[in-house]
Amino acid sequence: MSAKPSPQRPLSPFMIGPYYRPQLTSMLSITHRLTGMINVAGALGLVVWLLCIAAGPDAHAAFMGHAGAWYGLILMFGWSWTLAYHLCNGLRHLVWDTGRGFDLPTVYRTGYAVIAGSLALTALVWLVVLI
């Protein structure tokens, strides 16, 4: 008598799709990692801006021409949100480092707070910038 082979199942929940239903916690975790990578790219953009300032008025004017264009504003708006999100979620992780906030209702409540806080902080920054 031979044993029935077990069905092929994924070994890890990273396989979002037919085997794993996305949850708020996993999406926030993935977003935290993505925003960290985007922040690095934004920091490189900041370095380019500083280099253009050092290179003189013509280079700075050329950079500001792109930064002030519609696509530059969209990139800066997106970068400002990634900074706000990464900050808010980083503060959440600092609380977790104290051993608090791990029960499921608190995890979800703070997750929604991170989303709301990052959106509010981004809106506040752009309100100040545009006024």
Q: Per residue in 68-122, pLDDT tens?
A: 999 999 999 999 999 999 999 999 999 999 999 999 999 999 999 999 999 999 9
Q: Are 39 and 126 in contact (CB under 8 A)?
A: no
Structural tokens at position 73? 């504003």
DSSP H helical segments within 15-103, as ranges?
24-55, 57-67, 70-97
Domain 24-130 CATH assignment equals 1.20.1300.10: yes
Q: Note the pTM of the prediction, 2 decimals.
A: 0.82
As a whole-number percent, the residues of the chain with pLDDT over 90 amount to 79
Contacts of 26 (CB under 8 A, 6+ apart): 13, 16
